[in-house]
Amino acid sequence: MVALAPFLAIFGIKRVSKFRRRWTERKRLVIQSSWAALLSAHGNDRMATGSKIFRKLFTGDTAVLRLFPFRHQARTLFVSAPFKLHAKLFVDTMTELIANLHDLEKVERDVRELGKRHLTYGVQPAHFDAMGEALIAVLDESCHHPSDEVTLDKEERDAWLGFWGFIAKETQRGRKGIIASNPGSRRASEDGKPRAKGGMSAA
């Protein structure tokens, strides 16, 4: 398939992603209100919120722990300062992205920058799938609906699945941009081994 972006750029035309074409004001409000509900359920404590998400992640996929700088602190993992800080940074990042959902072009740029950083950590697409599952599971547990007890309703779930899919896709685009400009970085991306201090933070 011929890439259209270079040709569109000649005429000053920006290619709009499928996600952006299908994005609505209602979806923005749904994402923002359910995220606010999640934070409120944890006393607006971002560290506590992030810790619950990462607990869910590591419980569901223990292999993903090796991507993180605190991977050798298994016995004290959930009370360690590095874990708590990382959990808070994830929530900080998500909060900023969600606050900017009125400007999807900016969110795309920010997420692609995250993708560039995560390349050196050995993060793979499957890791984002696991993170998305953990995030939505915690949202499920924290967003209360009287008719459903503790679960997201269909509208919220669909909005979140679309939003996280967008984050994962744009992150991959950021990674691919780095690989294209620096082919030697492909090995760090493909072998799944962390190459630098840090770890998966948001997307």
26-44: b (≥16 Cβ within 10 Å) or e: ebbebbbebbebbbebbee
Q: Please name the residues in contact with 11: beta carbons below 8 A apart, sequence gap of 6 or more.
A: none
Distances in Å between the Cα of 104 and the Cα atoms of 55, 60, 169 are 29, 31, 14
Q: What is the pLDDT of residues 173-198, one digit of tens each?
A: 876 655 455 555 445 444 445 444 44
Q: What is the pLDDT of residues 6-27, one digit of tens each?
A: 443 444 445 566 778 888 999 9
- CATH (residue range 19-190): 1.10.490.10
Q: What is the pTM of this model?
A: 0.77
The values of phi and psi at residue 4, to 5°, are -90, -25
Q: What is the pLDDT of residues 80-130, one digit of tens each?
A: 999 999 999 999 999 999 999 999 999 999 999 888 876 667 778 888 899
Instruction: Give the residues across from 149 on adjacent strands.
Output: 145
**Domain boundaries, given as residue ranges, for the chain:** 19-190
Instruction: Report how far residue 164's alpha carbon sits from residue 129's, in angstroms, rounded to the nearest whole number.
Output: 9
